[in-house]
């Protein structure tokens, strides 16, 4: 993600399903750049997309957000899921999850 962010590319859908790990070399690859955008680092975004369990609070609230920060939030959720095997925030549906 550092490479992408250094080149002002925001992924906007970081999740477990979009991470590949090559078994022999342990090289990690990020896939599915369908929601990605290229923006200057000082520009806020106002398109709200992604996977609900990984969304940053500002995206859930539908307020403008910095893309890099939202990606970092998603990486934190991803790390939590990889370490603990469950999501830190859960709900019976998306609305419950957002609360």
**Residues noted as catalytic:** 13
**Partners of 28 in beta bridges:** 21
Is the CB of residue 98 less than 8 Å from the CB of residue 91? Answer: yes
Structure tokens of 38?
Answer: 């290229």
Residue 22 CA to residue 6 CA, distance in Å, equals 24
């Amino acid at each position: 993600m550092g490479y992408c962010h250094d080149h002002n590319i925001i992924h906007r859908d970081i999740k477990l399903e979009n991470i590949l790990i090559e078994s022999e070399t342990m090289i990690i690859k990020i896939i599915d750049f369908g929601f990605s955008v290229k923006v200057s680092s000082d520009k806020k975004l106002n398109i709200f997309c992604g996977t609900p369990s990984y969304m940053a609070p500002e995206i859930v609230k539908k307020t403008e957000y910095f893309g890099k920060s939202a990606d970092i939030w998603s990486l934190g959720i991803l790390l939590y899921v990889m370490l603990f095997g469950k999501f830190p925030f859960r709900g019976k549906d998306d609305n419950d999850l957002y609360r």
